[in-house]
Structure 1
C-alpha cells in the first residue's frame, strides 16, 4: 500500500501531495556548526516521506507508518514549548516555528514514513522537520527559500525539541544535490556544492550503524556546547570559529585541561573541513581519507564523544581495508562512516560484523549511501 493510499485510509481523504527529505552523513566537521564553523555533509539516499493536506481549522493530526493507528492531535492555538512529547514534536514543531517567524498557518493532516534509521546519527529528526517544512512551504504558499527553511527547522529543534543543535542537519537535507556534498559556513549561512564523485572513483561510503541510540536533547551534547562557549569567552572571541591552530598554545595556558581539549577539537576540525574541501575540488574523494582518520581521533580523545562500539567499527574497518573512517553525527552512539574501495566492501562489512559479535555487541547495520538530492515534492 503506497503512502497516499495509507493517508486516505487514516484520514478519510486524499492528500494534497507527497514530499520527502533525506537524512545525511557528515563527511567531516563535527560540533563545529554551533561554533559558527564549517561543515561538509551530504544528503543520503534514505528519506522521510510525508503525505500532507491542509485543514480548515487549527488542529494538526500527525500519524506514521511506524505507529499504525496512532494519531496525535495538537491544537496550534497557544502552543508552547513543552506542550508536546514524543516524535510528534518534530513535525508539529515546524508549524509552530513557522508561526513564530510570522507566517500564519492552518492545521494539517500529516502521515509520515521513513527509512532513515532512528538514533543512528543520520539526522532522522531533521529529515522529518525538512519534509514537513517543504510541504508546508508549498501548501501555504509561503515562498520561503531553502536557507530560510533551514532556520525554521533549527528553531523547531532548539526550542520545541530542546536540542541545542546548529544548522548542519537541516542544511544537508534541504540544500544538497545528487553527487555533491554541501560546504556550509555556519556563521554566514553561505553554502556551495562540492563534487563528491564516489561511484566514478570506484568508491563506496559505508555507514556502520552501531545500533547504540543517542539523543541530542540529553546532557552529553549540551555539556560539550557549554564547554565551547566557556572557551570562546575566555579567549575573548565571538565563537571558536575565530581561533586558528596558531592560537592553541595561548589557549593551553588560559583554559583548564578539559576545556582546552574541547577547544582544540573545534579549531582543528574546522581546519580539516577546509582542507577536505580543497582536496575534493583538486584531487577527489580518495585524498580526504587521512582527514577522516584524524577527525575520529580528535572526537575520541579531545571531544570525547565516541564510544567503544564506534571505536571498534572505525578501527576494524580501517584494518580490513577502508581508506579512512570516522564516527559521524553528534556522538555517544550512532554511526561511523568508512570510505572504502568497491572491491573491499565485502571484507570490511564481514570484518566489522565479526568483531562486534566477538565483543558481544549488538550486530551493526552496515549499508552503503550515495550523495542524494535534497528535500522536495515527489508526487
Structure 2
C-alpha cells in the first residue's frame, strides 16, 4: 500500500422484490446517485484507524480483537470487514479508513450494505488483494463480487473464502447486486442463488424517483432484526419441510418450485401454519408474477400497467409478508393520490422508505406535497421524515 485509495458505493432502491433474493427469487432494482465513500490511507503503526464524517472521534481496530461496540454501531461493520479479509487473504497493512456518506441512515436504501461494501473494496484494493490470484480465482465477475460482498454481512462462505460471524443478518445479495451491477438510467431484473441478470429495462428519462424516508427507522438490530430474520428463516423452514417430504436436496425455495411449478405440494406441506402459508404465497406473488408483469409493462411504455403491478406488490407486502408499518402504507397511498405513476415501500421493511415515480419537472413540488399529506396523518414521524430526488445511477466505482 503506497497511496490513498477511494471507493464510492451507491445506495440502492429496491423497486420490487421484498424478501425474495435469498430464496432464489427475482428483484427489480437500481443504484442511486448517493452512497458511501471510503478512503483507505497507509499509516505507520499497527491495525486500522477508522473515522466517520457522521460521528466524532476515531476507532482503533485490529483483526480478531473485539472492539466492544454497541449493537448496530458503524464500527462493528468495519470490524467485520477487517476480520473477514484477514481470514480470507492474510494480514492487512496498517491503514486509516475515512468513511463519508450522503445516504439517509436506516432508510431502506441499504446504507449499511453500502458502508460494508465500500470498506471492503477500498481496503482490498489498497492492499493489492483485488489483483491477487486468490481474488481473481474467486471473484471473477460482477455476480461473484456481489455474492462475496453479501457474505461479509451474512457470514457465509464463498468458494474458497471461508465464512465468519458477519453482522447478524440472514439476508441475500440483492443490495450488493444493485450496487455493483447497475447501469445508469435502467432498472435491472435479477434472479438469485445464483445471481443472474434476466433483463434490463429503461426507466423513462422524464420521470424521477422521489424517496420519502418515513421517520420510522428500518434498523437491523434488536427486535427489528428478529422480525427481518423471521422473514428470511421462514423460507428455510418451508424448504426443510419440502426436502424432508420429497427426499430432494434443493438449496432455495425457487429450486423447489422448479419441481412443483404450481406449488401444490408446497402448499400442502405448510397448510397447518398460517405464517408459512402467507410467506409462500408472498414469494409466489412477488417473484413469479408481479415482477415480470411490472418489467414487461415498463418496457412497453405501459405506465398504468406498471403502476398497477406496483400497487399489488405494496398490498401483498402488508397482507402476506407482514413487513409493513402504517406509516409506509400511508406514504404509498398518499403518493398515488397525488398522481405518482407508481409508489411502493422498499428495503427490509418494518419502517424505512417509500419511493414514488413522478414527472421530473414536478418532483420538487410533489415532494413537498407528499410530506404535507404525511404530516397530516403522522405528525410525530413526519417531523423526522425527509425526502430526496434521485434517478437510476451507475454502480460502485473507484474514485481517482
TM-score (normalizing by structure 2): 0.82
Pick which of 213-222 and 243-252 moved more.
243-252
Equivalent in the alignment of 1:5: none
Equivalent in the alignment of 1:73: 60
Equivalent in the alignment of 2:161: none
**Aligned residue among 22, 31, 39 for 1:51:** 39
Equivalent in the alignment of 2:159: none
**Aligned residue among 285, 289, 297 for 1:279:** 297
Corresponding residue SS for 1:235:
helix
Matched, 1:17 2:5: yes
**Aligned residue among 135, 138, 145 for 2:125:** 138
Corresponding residue SS for 2:367:
helix
CA distance in 2 between counterparts of 1:34 and 1:28 reads 14
- Alpha carbons of structure 1 residues 197 and 284: separation in structure 2 relative to 1, 3 Å: farther
Matched, 1:246 2:250: no
**Aligned residue among 348, 360, 372 for 1:354:** 372
Give the C-alpha shift of residue 91 in structure 1. Answer: 2.6
Pick which of 366-375 and 92-101 moved more.
92-101
Pick which of 173-182 and 263-272 moved more.
173-182
Gaps of 5+ in 1: 1-13
CA distance in 1 between counterparts of 2:49 and 2:296 reads 46
CA distance in 2 between counterparts of 1:101 and 1:279 reads 44
**Aligned residue among 222, 226, 231 for 1:219:** 226
TM-score (normalizing by structure 1): 0.87
CA distance in 2 between counterparts of 1:251 and 1:102 reads 44
Give the C-alpha shift of residue 339 in structure 1. Answer: 1.7
**Aligned residue among 329, 334, 338 for 1:311:** 329
Pick which of 41-50 and 232-241 moved more.
232-241
CA RMSD of aligned residues (A): 2.5
Give the C-alpha shift of residue 270 in structure 1. Answer: 0.7
**Aligned residue among 333, 339, 345 for 1:321:** 339
- Alpha carbons of structure 1 residues 259 and 30: separation in structure 2 relative to 1, 3 Å: same
Give the C-alpha shift of residue 346 in structure 1. Answer: 5.0
**Aligned residue among 81, 90, 95 for 2:82:** 95
Give the C-alpha shift of residue 280 in structure 1. Answer: 3.9
Q: May I ask how many residue pairs the two structures share in their alignment? A: 361
Say if 1:116 and 1:122, in contact at 8 Å, map to a contact too: yes
Say if 2:282 and 2:320, in contact at 8 Å, map to a contact too: yes
CA distance in 2 between counterparts of 1:352 and 1:245 reads 41
CA distance in 1 between counterparts of 2:7 and 2:17 reads 28
